[in-house]
Structure 1
Amino acid sequence: MHIDPNPLAHAASNNDLRLPAFGGEFQPGLYRPPQRKIANPAPLGLSCFALTTFILSIINIGARGVHHPNIVVAAALAYGGLVQLLAGMWEFVAGNTFGATALSSYGGFWISFGIILTPGGFHIVETLEAKGPDQFYNSFGFFLIAWFIFTTMLTILTLRSTLAFFLLFFLLDIAFACLAAGYFNYDAKGPNESCIKAGGYFGIIASFLAWYNAFAGMADDSNSFFTVPVMHFPWSEKGRERQAAIRNDMENGAPNRAMKTE
């Protein structure tokens, strides 16, 4: 009687017995891992940006007599900062380079903004103001103008997307420019009030556009009775596809409809 020294030899010819551990993921290279469907992280990141921008912007216009942005620190660090940064990281997983760069960067913007304004935490404002008010105003102007340059770059990259997406970055860019101008053109009372208010109004519009784009990214047949238009540019990929479809309908659809009518 022959006894095989390998107790698992009978499994070598039986694929049913060679079950992959943990669904195949524990043995990479031997088994193909199961395909996962990743949710779209962009609406989350846009919502984070919209809410935090809205709070800061209504303070910048002096709504209800509020002029100090201390309350925005919590939203800037937690929601606009941390959660938006996480959404940006998931955009990397989804393969969206633009979304990953934009959301992660603006998440970093809000975290750094919160750090600057944290009362007594990092003493950034106090240290600069101790050397003269111009030190803080000009330094913060440099900070804002740098984000204006970055946002300009992103705005150029939205010209082949949708009108709603382009307007979001375009108006945000104007808001950064107005705020930077306000801090550069300071006086004895502080930053230029007209420029800061203008930046606040543009920021409010940009925040609603961010919410609009977030809603457009979430609304579908599973959760909404309607969808909202995002208005693809005619030169964008989607726009060209739509124009081609319209031409096909005009060339082929009209005769068919006429035949059905007759």
Structure 2
Amino acid sequence: MSATEAINHGELEKDIGTVPQNGGGAPMQPQMSAEEHQVARAAARFGYGPLAHVNDAEASLPAFGGEFQPGLYKPVEGRKFGNPAPLGLCAFALTTFVLSAINMGTKDIGEPNIVIALAFGYGGLVQLLAGMWEMAVGNTFGATALSSYGGFWLSFAIVLTPGGFEIEDKLLAASPAKFYNSFGLFLMGWFIFTTIMLVCTLKSTVAFFLLFFFLDLTFLLLGVAYLQQGADGAPNANVQKAGGLFGLLAAFAAWYNALAGIADTSNSFFIIPVAHFPWSATGKIRRGKSD
């Protein structure tokens, strides 16, 4: 073996110990599980925490929320780009957090004007760029999701920008109900899109699935709040607050997945668990039901 492989092999043996031999010369059952042994080998080889869950025989990574990829992903070796998912997730999380806090009536702010800046600069532009970089690394799901939600924040900001396209002003001048109904349809369209994305996460991780599940409920509740106005003719306040609550959960789920993609052995003392579904490929391996 090469010098580098010898060093990595030595470090691995120091971490997990050698596997004892039985009388016939065959290796005995190791103290750690096969999955843990595989992870330890990959960690020693790549030194890249969450993405060290690599099967050397398959040369692919299991589904992982921090990579914004519900299916099997490419190995770390030979990649020319970093992982753009945490950047897009953080851009989405912060913008969603602020808007959701306002929807819940925090500090009686009422109007989401402050979100316009975030929607243009961070949730919109930065997330759109992250989505394009996902396309460059070959992640179709990540590119579709991040670019689309970047477009959502840009269009959201365009609608609410005072003196811009005057979309909100003209609809409100005609009738407040026309603006609320139009905005409700806008949100329901994003609910449909998010449902499609949610279906594609059913074989990934719990952390990844929960992000889209909370976001799906957020769009649904906010859409209903705008389509079914209250007695005062404004969006239904209780349903809007419920949408804001699930929006906060979606924001923290996005931050959690982002942290899972950032934290590795070079910058963290621990690795963020993402909880693979039992029916996923990794879940089956852990239950000993996979070939």
Measured against aligned partners, the alpha-carbon deviations of 1:14-64 in whole angstroms (never above 9, x if no partner) come to: xxxxxxxxxxxxxxxxxxxxx652101111100000000000000000111
DSSP-derived class of the 1:112 partner: helix
- 1:170 paired residue among 213, 219, 236: 213
1:84 has 2:123 as partner: no
Shift of 1:243: 2.7
1:103 has 2:167 as partner: no
1:147-158 → structure 2 map (5 Å cutoff): 147-158=190-201
1:123 has 2:169 as partner: no
Matched with 1:138 is 181
Mapped to 2, the partners of 1:42 and 1:240 lie a distance apart of 26
Shift of 1:111: 0.3
Higher mean C-alpha deviation, range 90-99 or range 182-191 = 182-191
1:216 has 2:216 as partner: no
TM-score computed with the length of structure 1 as normaliser: 0.79
Matched with 2:243 is 199
Poorly superposed stretches of 4+, deviation over 3 Å: none
- 1:161 paired residue among 201, 204, 214: 204
Matched with 1:27 is none
Which has the greater radius of gyration? 1
- 2:99 paired residue among 33, 46, 56: 56
Matched with 2:281 is 237
Mapped to 2, the partners of 1:199 and 1:58 lie a distance apart of 10
Mapped to 2, the partners of 1:174 and 1:192 lie a distance apart of 16
Mapped to 2, the partners of 1:96 and 1:237 lie a distance apart of 18
Shift of 1:133: 1.2
- 1:182 paired residue among 219, 225, 229: 225
Mapped to 2, the partners of 1:91 and 1:60 lie a distance apart of 31
Q: Cα–Cα, structure 1 residues 134 and 161, in superposed 2: closer, same or farther, change >3 Å?
A: same
Q: Which stretches in structure 2 are left out of the alignment for 5+ residues? A: 1-77
Matched with 1:73 is 116
DSSP-derived class of the 1:67 partner: coil
Shift of 1:239: 1.7
Mapped to 2, the partners of 1:218 and 1:36 lie a distance apart of 16
DSSP-derived class of the 1:244 partner: coil
Contact 2:177 2:233 in 1 (8 A): no
Mapped to 1, the partners of 2:88 and 2:287 lie a distance apart of 31
Measured against aligned partners, the alpha-carbon deviations of 1:157-188 in whole angstroms (never above 9, x if no partner) come to: 10000001101100110011110010011143
Shift of 1:189: 4.5
Q: CA RMSD in A?
A: 1.5
* Structure with the larger helix share: 1
Mapped to 2, the partners of 1:162 and 1:36 lie a distance apart of 23
Matched with 1:255 is none
TM-score computed with the length of structure 2 as normaliser: 0.71
Mapped to 1, the partners of 2:262 and 2:169 lie a distance apart of 43
Letter in 2 for 1:143: F
Contact 2:181 2:227 in 1 (8 A): yes
Contact 2:205 2:276 in 1 (8 A): yes
Mapped to 2, the partners of 1:237 and 1:47 lie a distance apart of 27
Matched with 2:26 is none
Matched with 1:226 is 270
Q: Which stretches in structure 1 are left out of the alignment for 5+ residues? A: 1-34, 249-262
